[in-house]
Chain A
Amino acid sequence: MSTTSTSLEPLFSILSQTYSTLETTFYKLPGSAVVARYVKSSHQNDPGRTLLEIILILFAIRTLLQSRTRADNSGKHFVQFDEKEIDDLIDDWTPEPLAAPLSAKEQAELTNSPVIVGATGPKPKLSNGKTVTNLASYNFTGLAGNERVKERTIECLVKYGLGSCGPPGFYGTQDVHMQLEQDIADFLGTEAAIIYAQAFATISSVIPAFCKRGDIIVADRGVNFAIQKGLQISRSTIRWYDHNDMKSLEQVLENIEKERRKKKGPLTRRFIVTEGIFDHDGVMSDLPKLVELKLKYKYRLILDESVSFGSVGRTGRGLTELYNVPASQVDMLVGSLANGLTACGGFCAGTNIVVNHQRINGTSFVFSAAMPPLLSVAASEGINILRNTPSILSTLQENTRAVRAIFDKVDCISVPSHPASPMIHLHVRLPSPTHLLPMVPASPALSSSGKPSNPHSPIPRDPEVFDGDLEERILQDVVDEALAQGVMITRAKRLPGQELVEVRPSVRIAITAALSKKDCEKAANVVKAAFIKVVGKRR
């Protein structure tokens, strides 16, 4: 016994020596006294406490070291395989093809839109050599092919070259971009505006720039695809109200407010997202009511004016001009430069704070090349022309009225669009009683059962009933028939299976100020005749 202790003695002495050197070096370090005091005071003669703290520290280190992208290898769902088994599993695995081959119907869908040879405009020439009247392209203001716009853009092209060759943050911001942003802001009467390189990519980037997880978005059930994508990427809490139904909106807002008061949760950002003129059916929002509600419930309004900017109002300023609501009442006013001004790209107008925020947080603004300078110039010139030529918009309105007068009287057509909207959707109305389809009212009414829809689901309580395939076939026949008679129209193209709610098939007419009233009426009569003929054949 004593022999072992004596033999271990040198070891003990070494240990105690090292301990004392460690202790002295530790106390030599600056700040070590503080650490020692902390450890002592937290120990408080309670080893359990110290143990707990050590465990906490170890846990913190472990969390820090853990890679964030690693899956749960240690999780309960992980199955351990040896290398051989993994190889077998890999050999067994057969993936689906990356893209399924097109069915005959899809192939037809792909080829049924005509190819224009040369410039597009009110009377383009098609690849089959025929010149047709164009009621398909978005050329509301008739600026396509405008000589002044062409002149200005050529001037710009020979001075700036074509591309901007860089994102706005890295020397991609040209003076013409800043000019266009200023022009848009002045035109609408907002503090500032920001331009994006593509209209479709605008709102799907604007929404997630402001709306984050935990924020509340109240959205219309009929919003367009780009908004749907923006809502999806924002990861916010979304509540839906019935399409263009202000009563339903108020109800939803009221319920959220009640819920919040009950839960006493923290104040979150709240937004109403809707469109000016709905891309899906041409219905127009009641802007004054929207503004009233958003002020009452303290929401911010994100309004997509992609269709309505450059197509309604006295000079084409959109819904704010039509209803005489100051644009500053709309927190984020999103619009398209492609539809109304026949350039390319989109914009978001608002206060300086709203706009500057997007310059750093708007994904498709920051990570994309700036718009080519000549397209900015085209848009600037477009605004200039609209400002100085109110007759463009009055012609457009006259043409719209004339065409609506023709379609409103046809039995087999129902028109959901607002009378002032130059984008007109035509649904087919099948009168045959043997058919299962019920007569669908022209405007979406309140649910017949009287109960409100579930705000958590984008699907309304009483969804419209229609036979999508059949209507699509009929409408395509109408389009083909009209084209044979020299009028180019198009079905509203959708992405089946990808929209939140299946949209009723329609023919989408885009009126233009570049055609005379007579031409418009003539073309509308051709479309009407095509409808009557195709539906008549089915009977």
Chain B
Amino acid sequence: MPSPMAIQSASPTPSMFRKKSTPALNTAASYLSAVSEADARARAHGSTPSSTPALSLSSSVTSSSEDTVLHELDDETDNGLAYPKVPPTSEQIFTTVHTEFGHCANDAYRHTSQYNTEHPVKSVQEQDPPYYILLTTYISYIVVIFFGHLRDFFGKRLKAAEYRHLLAHDGYAALNSDFDSFYTRRLKLRIDDCFSHPVTGVPGRTIMLLDRHSANYNKTQILSGTRTRGLNVSSYNYLGFAQSKGGCTDASVECIKRYGLSACGSRREGATLDLHVQGEALVARFLGTEDALISSMGFATNSTIIPALVSKGCLVISDELNHASIRFGVRLSGANVRMFKHNNMKALESLLREVISQGQPKTHRPWKKILVIVEGLYSMEGTLVKLPEILELKKKYKFYVFVDEAHSVGALGPHGRGICDYYGINPSQIDILMGTFTKSFGAAGGYIAGSKQIVDRLRLTGHSGAYAEAMAPPIVTQVIASMASLMGITLSNVEKSSSSRSLLPRHSDGPLQLVNTSECAAYPGTAASSALPPWMPLPQSMCDGSDSSMRLRRLAFNSRYLNRALRKLGFITYGHDDSPVIPLLLFNPGKMAVFSRLMRARATPIVVVVVAYPATPLVTSRVRFCLSASHTKEDIDTILQACDEIGDLLDLKQGAGERWPLHEIMARAVELVKMDVCP
């Protein structure tokens, strides 16, 4: 009879794809012994405790290595995710849990996300696949559509009961007709195991999937009760603030104790807390705008604010790939809409010339105002908006610019302030900066920033101020804590004498001198400690900006590394080299499901997002990697290894250009990232 331990550690879903490889340090015992050996070595050399950077003031942040890896012992631990491949030396003390935020002390694996004016990194030319790939893609769709209709035809006659809700019955029209739902039932359902996968725990560097299976071809899914931890390249966690341990969580816990869960109502009907006011001031300071407002849902920020900006007689010029929330908002506003080809400035200019000269349709009256809406970073394409060129056009054509920074804020720029920071553009040149807190800040909700006049007007006429519930206090706290740590905190004069937060000069992680009192007023400046809630505990590393500088530079390295490495392996990817969102083109719809399943079934499972029509054009089905500062270089290597193998299997390496073998890419990673232009 096997011991209970054996049952626990058995792989929950034995898969034919799972490889039986045993990565080094896969058990707690071997890891611990490595750690204690390292400690012993260090003690023999007599290192001083002053070299430990993580002097924490917050009591619940522990700096013991044991605590940061042995988080959940009952987890399956044979997949090489729970322990770093290289054990830390005693000089390297990590305060994060390795499964949430990977341990990576090597300072070479850092980069700065910044626009290089001398050697501008161009978005890669979108490559077309060979014709046989396109042809087989179309044939695949034709086959599934044909069989879908065939099954519907016979199904309606043979199994009428199952089709009842799709057809009119008892005098009710079908809620969702068989024709409208065809795509969902006959195409998406086939690969439904790749979508809406339930998870538990922190969506950090790794994520815990709740295993499920289906007995009726994905119509319903049954949870089997087991769990699988996978490397997470699917969550929007750019800066790795999705953590259950750390300064932000401690601050939110303290907030719940003090404030409870809810602000109880809408902002203008008596639910404005001091936290909201502080949060809005901080957001404005972070972005370098006069004022900002925050709203409790990112989607609703666009859909409730755009109608307050434009109305009938105005024109919205929208990039064709803008997010659904923008389209929703524009539709509510009643303004006219015109679209231009994605990121194509020539198309934008010729459209502008046409619409301004023609005026409103039929009447030819001049437009009241023209609002150009673009996104900073397009989450399906990985492309960056060509903001400098848009601002050039703005001077001549006098339109207003609305930049949706849902994905770019925090993720881009040397200071993480988003697309303006990346290009080195003064944010006051942009009329409206919108963004969300879901992605980089690990919170929820969105913001609108701009001049005081505009933001005040939107507070008054935007729908959310009067009707939508205010942001919950712990969420605001997460925003404040993560944002303040990105900015670095300076003490106000009063506090300098009797300080509760003793600020030491920042540590050596990076050339950015964030803490500098004279810089306080300038953009990108620091947060004044007087502007933060006095009860908010933040560890030293978060106050002096060293923690967030490390996050920003790790994300920049990871993004460039995976982007360029995938291209060097021969894959077709879209987007900008510095984008943390990397779409890898699969084309054939069938490959989506296989890719996703193969990645999930590896010895080290990798969790990816696959996207297809209608989110993308019909032929360009893709898998999307969302990188995070929490990934280590080894994690990226793991992903590359997996892509390399699966890429060969699925015939995905169709890209043009010079190719490097995998081992060379992994060895020359730093060189690859530091190149101005990828050869």
- Point out the residues of chain B lying under 8 angstroms from A114, CB to CB: 270, 272
| Residue among B234, B242, B300 having the largest count of chain A Cβ atoms under 10 Å | B300
| Interface bits B320-339 vs A (CB < 8 Å: 1, else 0) | 10011100100110000011
Please state if B260 and A121 are interface contacts (CB–CB under 8 Å).
Answer: yes
Nearest 10 CB-CB pairings of A with B: A136-B270, A137-B264, A200-B468, A368-B299, A99-B457, A198-B297, A338-B469, A165-B235, A369-B438, A145-B260
- Name the interface residues of B461-478: CB closer than 8 Å to any CB of A: 461, 463-469, 472-475, 478
Please state if A367 and B196 are interface contacts (CB–CB under 8 Å).
Answer: no
Please state if B184 and A364 are interface contacts (CB–CB under 8 Å).
Answer: no
- Point out the residues of chain A lying under 8 angstroms from B467, CB to CB: 200, 224-226
Given A166-B234, A367-B299, A368-B297: A90 and B400 interface contact (C-beta under 8 Å) = no
Please state if A110 and B258 are interface contacts (CB–CB under 8 Å).
Answer: no
- Point out the residues of chain B lying under 8 angstroms from A78, CB to CB: 358
Please state if A158 and B457 are interface contacts (CB–CB under 8 Å).
Answer: no
A361 to chain B, nearest CB (A): 8
Please state if A166 and B253 are interface contacts (CB–CB under 8 Å).
Answer: no
Please state if B236 and A115 are interface contacts (CB–CB under 8 Å).
Answer: no
Please state if A171 and B197 are interface contacts (CB–CB under 8 Å).
Answer: yes
| Interface bits A86-113 vs B (CB < 8 Å: 1, else 0) | 1001100111111111100011011001
Interface size class of A (residues with CB under 8 A): 35 or more
- Point out the residues of chain A lying under 8 angstroms from B201, CB to CB: 159-160
In Å, the complex CA distance between A117 and B473 comes to 12
- Point out the residues of chain A lying under 8 angstroms from B303, CB to CB: 201, 204, 364
In Å, the complex CA distance between A229 and B379 comes to 27
B131 to chain A, nearest CB (A): 18
Given A116-B273, A374-B474, A378-B261: A173 and B369 interface contact (C-beta under 8 Å) = no
Q: Which one of B31-39, B439-447, B656-664 contacts A?
A: B439-447
Please state if B442 and A161 are interface contacts (CB–CB under 8 Å).
Answer: yes
Please state if B268 and A163 are interface contacts (CB–CB under 8 Å).
Answer: no
In Å, the complex CA distance between A366 and B323 comes to 12
- Name the interface residues of A186-241: CB closer than 8 Å to any CB of B: 197-201, 204, 210, 215, 224-226, 229, 232-233
- Point out the residues of chain B lying under 8 angstroms from A134, CB to CB: 270
Please state if B268 and A115 are interface contacts (CB–CB under 8 Å).
Answer: no
Which of B324, B444, B463 is A369 in contact with, Cβ under 8 Å?
Answer: B444
Asked if B203 is an interface residue, CB under 8 A from chain A, the answer is yes
In Å, the complex CA distance between A158 and B261 comes to 15
- Point out the residues of chain A lying under 8 angstroms from B356, CB to CB: 86, 89-90, 93
Which of B236, B324, B354, B399 is A165 in contact with, Cβ under 8 Å?
Answer: B236
Asked if B362 is an interface residue, CB under 8 A from chain A, the answer is yes
In Å, the complex CA distance between A97 and B176 comes to 44
Please state if A200 and B258 are interface contacts (CB–CB under 8 Å).
Answer: no
At the interface, is chain B mostly helix, strand, loop or mixed? Answer: mixed
In Å, the complex CA distance between A404 and B436 comes to 42
Q: Which one of B243-251, B514-522, B670-678 contacts A?
A: B243-251
Interface size class of B (residues with CB under 8 A): 35 or more
Which of B198, B396, B432, B443 is A162 in contact with, Cβ under 8 Å?
Answer: B443
- Point out the residues of chain B lying under 8 angstroms from A166, CB to CB: 203, 234-236
Asked if B387 is an interface residue, CB under 8 A from chain A, the answer is no
Please state if B460 and A102 are interface contacts (CB–CB under 8 Å).
Answer: yes
Please state if A115 and B472 are interface contacts (CB–CB under 8 Å).
Answer: no
Given A175-B210, A494-B466: A109 and B253 interface contact (C-beta under 8 Å) = no
In Å, the complex CA distance between A406 and B512 comes to 64
Please state if B324 and A138 are interface contacts (CB–CB under 8 Å).
Answer: no
Given A115-B274, A344-B469, A344-B472: A269 and B175 interface contact (C-beta under 8 Å) = yes
- Name the interface residues of B453-496: CB closer than 8 Å to any CB of A: 453-454, 456-461, 463-469, 472-475, 478
Q: Which one of B16-24, B165-173, B645-653 contacts A?
A: B165-173
In Å, the complex CA distance between A89 and B354 comes to 10
Please state if B244 and A161 are interface contacts (CB–CB under 8 Å).
Answer: yes
Please state if B173 and A338 are interface contacts (CB–CB under 8 Å).
Answer: no
A313 to chain B, nearest CB (A): 20
Please state if A488 and B270 are interface contacts (CB–CB under 8 Å).
Answer: yes
Asked if A537 is an interface residue, CB under 8 A from chain B, the answer is no
Given A106-B460, A118-B258: A90 and B354 interface contact (C-beta under 8 Å) = no
- Point out the residues of chain B lying under 8 angstroms from A488, CB to CB: 270
Please state if B298 and A144 are interface contacts (CB–CB under 8 Å).
Answer: no
Please state if A338 and B262 are interface contacts (CB–CB under 8 Å).
Answer: yes
Please state if A364 and B269 are interface contacts (CB–CB under 8 Å).
Answer: no
In Å, the complex CA distance between A93 and B397 comes to 9
In Å, the complex CA distance between A175 and B261 comes to 20
Asked if A58 is an interface residue, CB under 8 A from chain B, the answer is no
Please state if A163 and B274 are interface contacts (CB–CB under 8 Å).
Answer: no
Which of A86, A162, A198 is B469 in contact with, Cβ under 8 Å?
Answer: A198
Q: Which one of A13-21, A351-359, A464-472, A522-530 contacts B?
A: A351-359
Asked if B618 is an interface residue, CB under 8 A from chain A, the answer is no
| Interface bits A240-271 vs B (CB < 8 Å: 1, else 0) | 00000000000000000000000000011110
B235 to chain A, nearest CB (A): 4
Given A116-B272, A173-B198, A344-B262: A158 and B253 interface contact (C-beta under 8 Å) = yes
Q: Which one of A34-42, A49-57, A146-154, A436-444 contacts B?
A: A146-154
Which of A109, A199, A374 is B460 in contact with, Cβ under 8 Å?
Answer: A109
- Point out the residues of chain B lying under 8 angstroms from A224, CB to CB: 467
Given contacts A120-B273, A150-B256, A166-B236, 14 further A-B contacts (CB under 8 A): A98-B371, A144-B262, A150-B257, A163-B441, A163-B442, A173-B198, A198-B469, A200-B468, A200-B469, A201-B468, A226-B467, A233-B332, A372-B472, A493-B465
Please state if A364 and B299 are interface contacts (CB–CB under 8 Å).
Answer: yes
A490 to chain B, nearest CB (A): 5
In Å, the complex CA distance between A232 and B369 comes to 23
Please state if A171 and B469 are interface contacts (CB–CB under 8 Å).
Answer: no
Asked if B550 is an interface residue, CB under 8 A from chain A, the answer is no
Determine the residue in chain A with the shortest Cβ distance to B364.
A79
| Residue among A69, A85, A153, A201 having the largest count of chain B Cβ atoms under 10 Å | A201
Please state if A171 and B258 are interface contacts (CB–CB under 8 Å).
Answer: no
Asked if B606 is an interface residue, CB under 8 A from chain A, the answer is no
Please state if A200 and B464 are interface contacts (CB–CB under 8 Å).
Answer: yes
Which of A159, A336, A372 is B444 in contact with, Cβ under 8 Å?
Answer: A372
In Å, the complex CA distance between A490 and B271 comes to 10
Asked if B609 is an interface residue, CB under 8 A from chain A, the answer is yes
Given A161-B100, A338-B469: A144 and B260 interface contact (C-beta under 8 Å) = yes
Determine the residue in chain B with the shortest Cβ distance to A145.
B260
In Å, the complex CA distance between A197 and B460 comes to 23
Asked if A535 is an interface residue, CB under 8 A from chain B, the answer is no
29 contacts between A and B (CB under 8 A): A71-B354, A71-B361, A73-B354, A81-B357, A89-B356, A90-B357, A101-B457, A102-B456, A110-B460, A116-B271, A120-B262, A137-B263, A137-B264, A145-B260, A157-B244, A157-B252, A161-B204, A170-B235, A174-B200, A200-B467, A200-B468, A267-B168, A269-B173, A300-B175, A357-B175, A369-B298, A492-B269, A493-B466, A495-B463
